[in-house]
């Protein structure tokens, strides 16, 4: 009886270890590093200049709005449109980023859409019988 119980327990432990592998918990520092890398990738995607409009929510609940004027390895600068004041922000302090910069592909698609719309309007006006 003892051997059967021990064998059953060992089998259960082995099956459980293969079906449910142990979860590796990440530390708070690792989470912050991943979030900072994600924020950095988002900022670099938006770009810099007056067209790179951005709204940033920081970990201390502060909100900044303006455009990205400069990016570095460990921080970026947000410049306010109205005051012209630049604020340095480290990537680790960022909680949420919202950007309004369109990619080149999106701008081309919008231009093509407008062109097709105008062309269809001209064709419709040219071939529509006048009443």
- Domain edges within the chain: 28-126
Q: Is 48 in contact with 66 (CB distance < 8 Å)? A: no
Q: Is 54 in contact with 39 (CB distance < 8 Å)? A: no
Question: Looking at domain 28-126, does it have CATH number 2.30.30.100?
Answer: yes
C-alpha 45/C-alpha 101 separation (Å) is 9
DSSP bridge pairs for 94: 58
Average pLDDT over residues 16-31: 68
Q: Strand 94-99 vs strand 86-90: parallel, antiparallel, or unpaired?
A: unpaired
Q: What is the pLDDT of residue 131?
A: 53
Average pLDDT over residues 5-33: 71
Count the neighbouring beta carbons within 10 Å of the beta carbon of residue 35. Answer: 16
> Assign residue 80 a region: left if phi > 0, alpha if psi is -120 to 50, beta otherwise?
beta
Average pLDDT over residues 34-39: 84
Q: What is the pLDDT of residue 22?
A: 61
C-alpha 79/C-alpha 71 separation (Å) is 12
Question: If pLDDT is split at 50, 70 and 90, which confidence band does 19 have?
Answer: low
């Amino acid at each position: 009886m003892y051997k059967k119980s021990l064998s059953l327990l060992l089998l259960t432990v082995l099956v459980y270890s293969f079906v449910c592998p142990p979860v590796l918990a990440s530390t708070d520092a690792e989470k912050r590093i991943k979030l900072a890398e994600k924020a950095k990738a988002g900022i670099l995607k938006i770009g810099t200049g007056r067209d790179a409009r951005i709204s940033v929510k920081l970990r201390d609940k502060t909100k900044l709005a303006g455009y990205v004027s400069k990016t570095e390895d460990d921080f970026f600068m947000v410049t306010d449109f109205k005051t012209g004041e630049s604020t340095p922000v480290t990537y680790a302090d960022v909680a949420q980023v919202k950007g309004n910069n369109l990619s080149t592909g999106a701008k081309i698609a919008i231009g093509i859409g407008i062109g097709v719309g105008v062309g269809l309007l001209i064709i419709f006006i040219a071939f529509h019988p006048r009443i």
